[in-house]
Structure 1
């Protein structure tokens, strides 16, 4: 149950770092059988770290959300949830950065070229999908997504609750242009480093570490505004829920908590199954970008759906 505003930050973080997720999963690079085997081997320590260290942190986030629901959620609480989630996402990113760099020496020049070509194609798709929207379409997309998300989390919303979310969507500032411009800059700076010359791993680490400094004043202002608007909206909505909606939400939180406990007990999928999961909840928690996805599952928010909205 986290704010839709998280999309402004977390989708930026993860979509900008597509290459940190194993490339074969996202269809960026066609790997050989030996490369797939090597990547699976390299993923095992990251997945073990996630299972042994991160799952407890996810459970703590759920505990915090549930406690705040009991005492009454404030906009400050919602922003605190976001801080916890972004911290989890960044820890997963940092861990996967090392996997990606280790694996980088195993791919050919042709595969690197394929990777960059496909990731630029994805950038063009995003630009076409998002930037061609009118302001009215942007507002409608955000409003529809907010309503759909909270319908899943809380059960059926009443007319007043829907109107409240649509009102919040109407006050959001457009973020897609700033988001995609920053993403293009990231890709442009990354591309020459992918020639893998001397010291390329350190250069990529430095590029990643400096990512926050790239944000323009426009980017920062719009992001802060939108998070503020949506923190208020989420807190107000949660104040208005009835007992049936509260029970619906608590049931979803408990479902996640049970899944976490099952994974902590060792009932998980290993990296050799990664990319072809039978259980969508387990895939959310064992995949290398699970820090993002467990929160999306808890919140009903999907950054890949709204993208840079």
Structure 2
């Protein structure tokens, strides 16, 4: 249960096009609608950063449709299998800590194939950028970075931790329903113990963006695509050692948080999780792999 998905992926998921494919579905009230029109959503998102030509938009749309077709036929069945396993575990009661960690590991395993397949989509677009478009991208990424720093960083550590707890609660409740008093306290304690996690995440995000801009200066070189693939697939490395260490610890901590929340739950919470998993599984089952 990747409730940390918004942060990672905002992560495997800061990549220019990539995690939007997943992020749109996660943030939309209709998974089916978001999935069918993810390509248009990504184009709109890209144009928040770069003013595309009509030719670039058409190429991007075509590439995204090819990516969606592959994802629908090859990856959605894997998601359904995972949801079957999740529901089976919940049927037996509160999953063990190791079982929760196993589900988290499965979810993280879904990202590498998507990143590999999405890399050519990003490469086709980035290779076509003019110098002016690269300048636009740099300016808009810097603007976005400042906005996130203003949104996520408070004046004190305690205020930052409190805001992090609120965001975590909102994400968790999508799956578990309203938390009880004990669960709220678990989230607050967990958030307080995260230290400088938010600051490290923001620094890592800036490091990755700078690495991308540096690479774009050499986008006409023959090794550009392979270097871009390394930057996208091995995104944690580009974000720095502090980020890598934080993420390794955070995965363990997040799995522990999920287990503690489930342990403090009641039958209503488990039923809500079952229902949510069932809804997603049904959505995936009826998504026809046909042109949007």
Q: TM-score range by the shorter chain?
A: 0.7 to 0.9
Distance 1:164 1:128, change over 3 A: closer
Q: Which residue of 2 aligns with 1:44?
A: 65
Give the Å deviation of 1:50.
0.5
> In the alignment, is residue 260 of structure 1 matched against residue 275 of structure 2?
no
Q: What's the offset of the Cα at 1:133?
A: 4.3
The CA deviation at 1:49 is: 0.3
Q: Is the CA contact (8 Å cut-off) linking 2:200 and 2:243 kept in structure 1?
A: yes
Q: Provide closer, same or farther for how the CA distance between residues 92 and 138 of structure 1 changes in structure 2, counting only shifts above 3 A.
A: same
Shift of 1:244: 2.4
For each residue in 1:52-111, what CA deviation from the matched residue of structure 2 results, as whole angstroms up to 9, or x when unmatched?
001011112212221222233122222222222222123222211111112334333322
Q: Using structure 2 for the length normalisation, give the TM-score.
A: 0.80
Name which of 250, 261, 275 aligns with 1:237.
261
Q: Which runs of 5+ in 1 are unaligned?
A: 271-309
Which of 220, 224, 232 is the equivalent residue of 1:197?
Answer: 220
Match of 1:251 among 254, 270, 275: 275
Number of residues of Structure 1 aligned to a counterpart in Structure 2: 266
TM-superposed CA distance for 1:124, in Å, is: 2.3
Instruction: Give the CA deviation at 1:251.
Output: 1.4
Question: Are the counterparts in 2 of residues 6 and 227 from structure 1 also a CA contact under 8 Å?
Answer: no
Distance 1:143 1:182, change over 3 A: closer
Cα offset, 1:23, TM superposition: 5.4
Assess, with a 3 A threshold, how the Cα gap between structure 1 residues 102 and 128 changes in structure 2: closer, same or farther: same
Would you say the 8 A contact 1:61–1:84 is kept in 2?
A: yes
Map residues 94-243 of structure 1 onto 2, 5 A cutoff. Answer: 94-195=116-217, 196-199=219-222, 200-214=224-238, 216-243=240-267
Superposition CA RMSD, Å? 2.5
CA offset digits 1:126-183 (Å, max 9, x no partner)? 2333344421112212222333334343333322222222222222222122222222
Structure with the greater relative contact order (CA < 8 A, sep ≥ 6): 1 or 2? 1
Check whether the contact 2:236–2:243 (CA below 8 A) recurs between aligned residues.
no
What is the distance in 1 between the residues matched to 2:126 and 2:173? 42
Distance change (3 Å), C-alpha of 1:134 and 1:10: same
Mark the CA change 1:9 to 1:42 in structure 2 (over 3 Å): closer, same or farther: closer
Change in Cα spacing, 1:259 to 1:231, as seen in structure 2 (3 Å) is same
Unaligned 5+ segments in structure 2 are 21-41
Give the TM-score taking structure 1 as reference length: 0.76
